[in-house]
A and B are shown apart, each in its own frame.
Chain A
Amino acid sequence: DAGITQSPRYKITETGRQVTLMCHQTWSHSYMFWYRQDLGHGLRLIYYSAAADITDKGEVPDGYVVSRSKTENFPLTLESATRSQTSVYFCATHSGGADTQYFGPGTRLTVL
C-alpha cells in the first residue's frame, strides 16, 4: 500500500522545455496539493485541488499548470521551465476531515 507516490523522483531538464511531475494517491482523499521547497522559503503552496475537476491557485502559481481529471491523480506541469523553478516539489493529500496532510517523497527538479 503505497499511499502517495511521486514520479519521477529526480529530473534534469533544460530551460524552455515542458515538464510534468506526477502525483498518485491510493487513499481517495478529496484534497491534493503541490508545494515547492526552497532554502529560505520553506514549503510554499503552488496549486491545490478540493476534488476532481476543482483546482485553485496557491501562493506561487505562476509558470505552473495543474489538472485533476481523476481523484487519484494530480499532475503538475511546467509549461516552459525556467531556472527559478529548480526546486524540490512535494505533493500532499488531505481527507478533508479533522486530519493532517500526508506528503509524498518529493521530486527534485533541476532546470539547466
Chain B
Amino acid sequence: DQQVKQNSPSLSVQEGRISILNCDYTNSMFDYFLWYKKYPAEGPTFLISISSIKDKNEDGRFTVFLNKSAKHLSLHIVPSQPGDSAVYFCAANPTSNKLIFGTGTLLAVQP
C-alpha cells in the first residue's frame, strides 16, 4: 500500500502561471518531507524540504506547504518556466536516512 501518494500523474501549465503539485501521505508519524525533481536520463535532484514543525518553506520560486491535519503537502512553483518541465517526486523521511517516494507527477510547462 502506497504510504506516499501523488494522485496526478501529469500536469500541464502555461509559462508564467502557477504550478501546484500535490502529495498525500498516510502515516501521521512522518515528520520530514522532501521534493525531488527529475529530468529524463538523469537522477533525481533535491529541490526543497519541510519539517513537520513548519507549515511552509520557501526557496525562490518554489514553496512547499504542509497541512498535517490533512496529511497533505503541496509544491507551488511561481512563475513556472519551461525549464521546470520534469517529473517531481514527493518523499517522506520516516526514519533516519530512508525515504519513501510517491509515484511522481510529470509537469509540462508550455511556452
Contact = CB atoms under 8 A, between A and B. Distances in A.
Contacts, number: 49
A43 B87 CA distance: 12
A68 interface: no
B86 interface: no
Interface residues on B, range: 20 to 34
Interface residues of A, number: 23
Interface in B42-92: 42-46, 49, 89, 91
A40 B10 CA distance: 12
A105 B103 contact: no
A105 B42 contact: yes
Contacts of A100: 34, 46, 49
Contact of B101 (A40, A44, A105, A106): A44
Interface of B: 4, 6, 34, 36, 41-46, 49, 89, 91, 96-104
Given A40-B103, A50-B97, A105-B42, 4 more contacts: A43-B89, A101-B46, A104-B43, A106-B42
